[in-house]
Amino acid sequence: MEQMQTEIDQLSLVCQAMWTLIQDNLDISESELKERIVALDMLDGVLDGKMGAVKMKCPECDATMNNKIKHCMFCGYQPESGGSPFTGA
C-alpha cells in the first residue's frame, strides 16, 4: 500500500513536471489539457476520470496480461522497462 502511494506521488511529480514544461515551451492552455484528458479517458469507453486497463497478450505464453500488473501472472514474463518516467525513473 505504501509502495503504491510512492508510485502515485512519483507519477504526480512527473505529470506536474511535464505540464509545467509544456506550458513554458508550447502555447497550450489548461482547457486544451482538460479536453485531451477527456479524450484519453474515453478511449476505454467510460468517462470515469481514469485510464481503463488495457489488456495485452503475453508474448511468451499468450495469456491475457493487465498492463497495471507489470508481469505475466502465468509464466512470469516481464516486459522490458527502459527506464520510462512512468515506471519510476
Give me the residues that bind Zn ion (CB under 5 A), please. Answer: 58, 60-61, 63, 72, 74-75, 77
Instruction: For Zn ion, give the closer residue by CB, 53 or 61.
Output: 61
Q: Is 85 left (phi over 0), alpha (psi -120 to 50) or beta?
A: alpha
Coil, strand or helix: which one is 16? Answer: helix
Query: Using CA atoms, how far apart are residues 73 and 67, in angstroms rounded to an integer?
Result: 11
Closest C-alpha among 87, 82, 85, 83 to residue 69? 87
Work out how close the CB of 6 gets to Zn ion at its nearest, in angstroms, rounded to a whole number. 27
Work out how close the CB of 64 gets to Zn ion at its nearest, in angstroms, rounded to a whole number. 9
Instruction: For Zn ion, give the closer residue by CB, 9 or 62.
Output: 62
Instruction: For Zn ion, give the closer residue by CB, 11 or 58.
Output: 58
Work out how close the CB of 62 gets to Zn ion at its nearest, in angstroms, rounded to a whole number. 7
